[in-house]
A and B are shown apart, each in its own frame.
Chain A
Amino acid sequence: GAVVSQHPSRVICKSGTSVKIECRSLDFQATTMFWYRQFPKKSLMLMATSNEGSKATYEQGVEKDKFLINHASLTLSTLTVTSAHPEDSSFYICSASILMGDIGYTFGSGTRLTVV
């Protein structure tokens, strides 16, 4: 149980285009989801908290106009990288918290974005 499905797993796009990454909770409702970015050989950096039905909360230093987050339903959050540039190339991971019952967090399998 508590599976998060993330798509696509890999995407290559041209500089200047936008890319949408989807994160779905398959067997539970996720009122809150999180988006992380992992730089090469580095840890996971929390980008933003996605809240169903309201605006996302961005961490300091994350451009909200570049990384658009939409959480329109209890099972779907999307991250859109707008006007992508090569420096946006990275590994993006979504997560949902299931803290009731001391379960913890479940993670998507990640999306490798390459901007050429």
Chain B
Amino acid sequence: AQSVSQHNHHVILSEAASLELGCNYSYGGTVNLFWYVQYPGQHLQLLLKYFSGDPLVKGIKGFEAEFIKSKFSFNLRKPSVQWSDTAEYLCAVNARNTDKLIFGTGTRLQVFP
């Protein structure tokens, strides 16, 4: 069965620091990959997604992610975080032989001014 791991459960950063959140999945076949953000009290918002093509994907709010197939990874990055980036970040994977979307455990990001 496919699974998704996010190793950073809680990340605390100061404003302007760089961010990298890890996401690894276990599935040998072709996948679609997603990062979602959930701000406090709000519902899920898509940050970016990868279906095919350029493995470096740019999303909203200055986020990007790189799909490294050999490492089964899809890490999220942002060069300079802002206080408003404080939120829960969820990586999700869809194995293309199903419609299911499986989420990782999530990473809580706190950014201090």
Contacts and interface: CB of A to CB of B under 8 A. Distances in A.
Interface of A: 32, 34, 36, 41-46, 49, 93, 95, 97, 99, 102, 104-105, 107-110
Interface string B34-77: 10000000011010010110000000000000000000000000
Nearest to B90: A43
Interface in B77-113: 90, 94, 99-106, 108
B34 A42 contact: no
B32 interface: yes
A32 B90 CA distance: 22
A104 B32 contact: yes
Contacts of B51: 102
Nearest to B1: A60
A107 B43 contact: yes
A47 B104 CA distance: 14
Given A34-B100, A49-B100, A42 B43 contact: no
Contact of B101 (A42, A95, A102): A95
Nearest to A44: B103
Interface of B: 32, 34, 43-44, 46, 49, 51-52, 90, 94, 99-106, 108
Contacts of B94: 97, 99, 105
B99 A97 contact: yes
Find the residue from B46, B94, B99 having the highest chain A CB count within 10 A.
B99
A-B pairs, 4 with minimum CB distance: A43-B106, A102-B51, A44-B103, A97-B99
Contacts of A105: 34, 94, 101
A112 to B, nearest CB: 11
16 contacts: A34-B99, A41-B108, A42-B105, A43-B90, A43-B103, A44-B103, A45-B103, A49-B99, A95-B101, A97-B99, A97-B101, A99-B99, A102-B52, A104-B49, A105-B94, A110-B43
